[in-house]
Amino acid sequence: MAKDLDNIVVILNEPRYPENIGASARCLKNMGLSRLRIVRPQNWNEEKILKMATHEAADIIHAATHFERLDDAVSDLNLLAGTTARTGRKRRPTHTPRTIAQKVVAYPSRVKIGLVFGSEKWGLSNRELGLCDWVVSIPTADFSSLNLAQSVMIVCYEIMLASGEQAQIQRPRLATIREKEGMFFHLEQVFEAIGLYEKQTPSYWIQNARRFFRNKELTARDVKTVRGFLRQILWAVKNG
């Protein structure tokens, strides 16, 4: 029996064309997903959106939640996968849709997982990819540019297939994106307090910290423990 996919959320970040929003909703419906979040669409034309979604996927459009910032759209999620066509030696290692699907469906339904797809024009920025636990790239031949809805379909298709094949893993509650971002903000305060910024820019140290914690699948307890250490460091610095 296939796994319930209600814990998986598809996020469209700044989509440019209403037709792609509708077609993406139809992809979700085809593949057994139902949760759609939309961040700052560039052209919200409901008539065009619903025409592409068709009657069958209209409920996904009507139930979709809207946000002005990607940070807010993902803040309650535990894990986040971002898609990109930009790869290279200096960029983060990427998953294929197949390997990420196998990871995603292995988590129990209480773990909320987001799949982020960037704008048709510029994709996801480095900062936006920095929010993600995993990066996904869809293998292609010489022409790497895919339509937004095509990308959504490929990733959701692999998730649907994997959901019928892989057993769930029992794990403690994972930290949400909001909790992890709070930890990184706390780290920035400590770095500043101990004078770490005197030789390097703040972004250098925080990016190194993000790189260290990335893919660690931090639990809520892990984040709470780290922030407890950070509070003690700040207290010690303040009190000499």
Mean pLDDT, residues 191-213: 80
The answer to whether residue 88 scores a pLDDT higher than 60 is: no
The pair of three-digit structure tokens given for residue 7, joined into one six-digit string: 């814990």
0.75 surpassed by pTM: no
Identify the bridge partners of residue 116 per DSSP, sorted by sequence position: 11, 82
Tell me which fold the domain 8-163 belongs to. Answer: Alpha/beta knot (3.40.1280)
Question: 101-104 long-range contacts, Cβ below 8 Å, gap at least 24?
Answer: 101/155, 101/158, 101/159, 101/161, 101/162, 102/162, 102/166, 103/134, 104/8, 104/79, 104/159, 104/162
The answer to whether residue 217 scores a pLDDT higher than 90 is: no
DSSP string, 164-208: TT-PPPP-PPBPPHHHHHHHHHHHHHHHHHTTGGGTS-HHHHHHH
Domain ranges for the chain, please list them: 8-163, 177-238
The per-residue pLDDT of the chain, averaged, comes to 89
Give the position of tokens 């979040």: 37
Q: Which residue has the higher pLDDT, 100 or 208?
A: 100
| Interval 15-65: pLDDT, tens | 999 999 999 999 999 999 999 999 999 999 999 999 999 999 999 999 999
The answer to whether residue 167 scores a pLDDT higher than 80 is: no
Give the position of tokens 């010489």: 142
pLDDT value of position 116: 97
pLDDT value of position 2: 52
The answer to whether residue 145 scores a pLDDT higher than 80 is: no
